[in-house]
Structure 1
Amino acid sequence: MASELNMSELVKVSEKADLFPKYRDTPIEELFKFHNFGVPFEKYDKAEILVGMCMDNRKHLKIPNNFAYVIRTGGGNLRFNEFKISYAIALGGVSCIAIIGHNHCGMVNLISKKKEFVKGMVENAGWNEKHAEEHFTSFAPIFEIENEIDFLHCEIKRLRDKYPKILIAPLFYNIEDNRLYLMEEDRTSV
């Protein structure tokens, strides 16, 4: 069973002073300004940041056009998306990445949803049961996350190791208040 999400690990960001110093005067600050603080949008000619976030339909970032490259995947899991990330860095010129996890993620304890998944693929997609089960069994272990915050920490470490010159921020989207939070553990990390 997945461990409970500990919201005390999150840092509420209501004003610039709440941001960790390493994120001030960066695209991470701009992201918070637009999304959390409701600052009017500025005009952007090119992306300043790459945002990786879950495909969950309950989340919507308040950001201006052209501000960010956005990759949406189940759980915000960016494995198998490294070329897209590299493209945004090499050709898009982004120097900052925000990985945004969220509470109540459907990828948590995914294995427990096998029966419902198979039934949905049979009824909604017209697959036969065997094919739907094989599909689930092949891919669920790749995309399942045990806990949203623990997964976010692991994904950030992996990406920081892969892209050492890029500022990478683990952020958290709280479905209840539709706001972005910082991760307490990231307060002192490099």
Structure 2
Amino acid sequence: MGHEEGFSKNIADKLVGVESKEDIFQQYRNTPIESLFLSHNMGISKEYSSAELLVGMCMDNRKQLKIPSNFAYILRTGGGNLRFSEFKVSYAIGVGGVKAIALIGHNNCGMVNLISKKDRFIRGLVENAGWDAERAEEHFMNFAPMFEIDDEIEFVLSEAKRLRNKYPKILIAPLMYNVEDNLLYLIKEI
């Protein structure tokens, strides 16, 4: 795979396409991360009786994983930001027994440059939810800074680093989803 459609060149240069098992980074071989790639990108899956993986991904409706039943816990939040879902992450690890986390960012994420969406956000809450404009603006200003993402890849990498520090025995894989071809990609960590 070359520079994949849908990714800017600076993003594409940091990604590795996965078309076969051999394309998967060594540290993810024979792990739930490998199973995720085999299932989603290649359509190869098996049956699971319990979850092996926690997936943290964006709530964006353009992304749908092709995975078998019972394979993964899935937390969907704006930008795949798990900072405010740590109890749920801990539950999947402590009670669910997962040993790996896939953090999946994607191109064209709505959490990038949130300030440019402020007026639309306010107007949408006024028109669709019946809020007054002042309340909607206050809501935006209180929460947008917590969810703003500057760069999709850098955010996924920093979130992976943060979670690795918090859960040192858990395998954490920062990945990207291309909304143009619906495939997962590995991120080169340098």
Which TM-score applies when normalising by structure 1? 0.94
In the TM superposition, what are the counterparts of 1:1-190 in structure 2 within 5 Å?
Answer: 6-39=11-44, 41-185=45-189
Listed one character per residue, the Cα deviations across residues 99-150 of structure 1 (whole Å, up to 9, x for unaligned) are 0000000000001110110000000000000000000000000001001011
AA in 2 matched with 1:45? S
**Residues 48 and 94 of structure 1 are in contact (CA less than 8 Å); yes or no, is this contact kept in structure 2?**
yes
Secondary structure of the residue aligned to 2:121 is: helix
Q: Within 1, Cα distance between the matches of 2:50 and 2:143? A: 35
Q: Give % identity.
A: 66
Looking at structure 2, the residues matched to 5 and 146 of structure 1 have their Cα atoms a distance apart, in angstroms, of 14
Counterpart Cα distance in 2 of 1:135 and 1:5: 33
Q: Partners of 2:52 and 2:11 in 1: how far apart?
A: 31
- Assess if the C-alpha contact under 8 Å between 1:118 and 1:129 holds in 2: yes
Per-residue deviation at 1:5? 5.3
4+ residue segments displaced more than 6 Å: none
Stretches of structure 2 that go unaligned for 5 or more consecutive residues are 1-7
Letter of the 1:20 partner, please give it: F
SS at 1:17 equivalent: helix
Q: CA RMSD in A?
A: 1.3
SS at match of 1:161: helix
TM-score, normalising length: structure 2? 0.94
SS in 1 for 2:118: helix
Paired residue total: 183
Query: What is the CA–CA distance in structure 1 between the aligned matches of 2:35 and 2:73, rounded to whole Å?
Result: 14
C-alpha distance in 1 between matches for 2:10 and 2:179: 13
